[in-house]
Amino acid sequence: MLAPVRNFEKPNVSYELRREKESSPSEIPYIDSPALIGQARCVKKRIVSRGRRGSELGICLLPFLFCVPLPLTGAPPPGAVSAFEAYIANVEGRIDQQHLSPSAFSAPAASDPESAKTRVRQGQVIIERLTPVAGAELPGALLHHWRGTAFVQGATAADFGQLLRGFDSYPKYFSPQVVQAKVLSHDGDHFVASMRVRQRHFLTVVMDATYDVTFGWLDAERGYSISRSTRIAEIDSPGTIAERSLSDGEEHGFLWRLTTYWTWEERDGGLYLQIEAVSLSRSVPRGLGWLVAPYAESIPRESLDFTLRSVCSALRK
């Protein structure tokens, strides 16, 4: 189901297209025909006339998106990968410091920590966008950084550690997103696991990924894990005899890199859970930024929210 666009500005379609074409006269914008511009104006008209968030935007947007060819991107640009790795190093430096002390094991909310703590104790899931405003756009790519926090009454650190290590049960707990999962190798607290993931938004994307996962504990009540993608492949015609992994030159860049950090802490009669996810994806096609960017940003948020809520549900059973 499509997520509604939040705080959507009223776009001036003709101006946006003219500005992009003038700024890069040697390149042809993806939206460059009266028919597509007409459909874009249809979206604008619906947004302005309705004046509210709703599914009517998704209904009008679908035919427009499928009429615009989605260019192949291949492997991520080296500059984007270097910037992503540098960003990850800073994130892990901060998380490593957190995990040294019981008093600061979990990160406080970015805004109004006391109110957030109260809401979490009341059963709410807190989702925060941590992506730097100035650093989201990398050369030919987008960086996404989200954090979610929750509390499960009566759950224990041992329960959660067992759940995370049970990769074979991921399709049960994280359906319909996780289709298959299995352990490829295991040595103590280090695992290599593979997963097939299905993402459904305005289109369905199936990917096979391999992750390097490490678990750690400060004590019996506090633990953490780091999961780093080592391979992500987009699957063409999944579940058919024509199924195959797309090559680097054929992929669309829906997800190039994903690093996930779990932190859990048993206290106050339950378990505090915190997940951070940092991902790298293709940049938004030129000419579609005002239209597609809100969706591109919502996808990693929705995935993290789904994962955290699924874990909470599994721990309550």
pLDDT of residue 73: 59
pLDDT in single tens digits along all 317 residues of the chain = 444 434 434 444 343 334 443 433 333 333 333 443 444 444 444 444 444 444 444 444 444 444 445 555 567 888 999 999 999 999 999 999 999 988 888 888 777 778 888 898 888 999 999 988 766 778 888 899 999 999 999 999 999 999 999 999 999 999 999 999 999 999 999 999 999 998 876 678 888 999 999 999 999 999 999 999 999 988 888 888 887 878 776 667 778 899 999 999 999 999 999 999 999 988 766 555 544 555 566 788 899 999 999 999 999 97
Q: Show me where the domains of the chain are located.
A: 13-67, 78-316
pLDDT of residue 145: 95
**What is the C-alpha to C-alpha distance for residues 9 and 101, in angstroms, rounded to an integer?**
44
Beta pairing, strands 204-219 & 190-200: antiparallel
pTM, two decimals, is 0.76
Distance in Å from the first CA to the final CA of the chain = 26
Quick one: which H or E segment has residue 140?
A: none
**What is the C-alpha to C-alpha distance for residues 224 and 42, in angstroms, rounded to an integer?**
48
Please, which residues bridge with residue 229 across strands? 211
pLDDT of residue 85: 95
pLDDT of residue 287: 52
pLDDT of residue 25: 36
pLDDT of residue 10: 41
Residue 152: CB atoms within 10 A of its CB come to 21
For 154: left if phi > 0, alpha if psi spans -120 to 50, otherwise beta; the answer is left
pLDDT of residue 20: 40
**What is the C-alpha to C-alpha distance for residues 146 and 108, in angstroms, rounded to an integer?**
14
Decide if 214 contacts 190 (C-beta within 8 A): yes
- For residue 238, give the DSSP letter: T
Decide if 228 contacts 246 (C-beta within 8 A): no
- For residue 127, give the DSSP letter: E
Decide if 193 contacts 182 (C-beta within 8 A): yes
Per the listing, tokens 């100035």 go with: 134
pLDDT of residue 203: 72
The fold adopted by the segment(s) 78-316 is: Alpha-D-Glucose-1,6-Bisphosphate; Chain A, domain 4 (3.30.530)
Q: What is the DSSP string of 167-218?
A: GGGHHHHSTTTEEEEEEEEEETTEEEEEEEEEEESSSEEEEEEEEEEEEEEE
Decide if 260 contacts 248 (C-beta within 8 A): no
